[in-house]
A = this chain, B = another copy of it.
Amino acid sequence: MPRKNNPRAVSDQVSELTAGRLSLYLRSLNVLDAAGVKTISSKALAEQFHLNAAQIRKDLAYFGEFGIRGVGYYVKELQRQLRVILGLDRTVRVAVLGAGNLGMALADYPGFRQEGFSIVAMFDADRSKVGRRSRGGVAIHDIAEFRAMVEREHIDIAVIAVPAEAAQQVVDTAIEAGVRAVLNFSPGSLQVPPEVKLKNVDLTVSLESLSFFLARGDGDGTDDI
């Protein structure tokens, strides 16, 4: 079977790091599509979005021959294929654990909705928060209801936004409830069984790369992470 007709089958060749880049390409293609652009070359894509043209060609080569010599990529078709590869051709259902400032901000984060994620619910152990909603309308449930909600609401991803000292217990609760993918914003390292995918977001790394730039004392433009 030609690779280009079966993107999901080849997706296991694609590393995690590539997934991050594909995600950035998709974001860029969304911008182009909204602007009415029909085709784009890897060079123009790289220049417009501060990406690497050779890397784009290499990454997209996994998915067959999308690039047409002298034309570039068809924006809509590449968008569609990237969404399939990234598992975004269905709605991915997300719960936020912890309804403090960070949890509230994540529940209403505009990018999550734009890209087809559905923030189903927030959970907190603080009874005074239960029953309230984020500004965007996401309801706060008692963490004791989490297990039942995972089954009823088909929650795919748990976002951990609780203080560090509560994080391991909360992630254990999520995993016992059957969640297989965890996005952790809490500092410190969490233990998960091998069948669970844990992604740690450490915001300090971004600040440190700016500090590195300031220490070095030269400008080199924009970065996306």
CB-CB under 8 A from A11, the residues of chain B are 212, 215-216
Closest to A190 in B: B222
A162 to chain B, nearest CB (A): 12
Q: A104-B101, A187-B111, A216-B12 are in contact. Are A117 and B207 (CB under 8 A)?
A: yes
Most buried by B among A24, A210, A216: A210
Interface residues in A, total, Cβ within 8 A: 77
Q: Are B212 and A85 in contact (CB under 8 A)?
A: yes
Closest to A109 in B: B203
Check if A198 is an interface residue, CB within 8 A of chain B. yes
Check if A6 is an interface residue, CB within 8 A of chain B. no
Ordered by A's residue number, 18 sampled pairs between the chains whose C-beta atoms are within 8 Å are: A8-B216, A16-B213, A19-B213, A22-B212, A23-B212, A27-B202, A86-B211, A92-B210, A110-B164, A112-B204, A114-B204, A156-B211, A180-B214, A181-B211, A183-B210, A194-B221, A197-B210, A201-B203
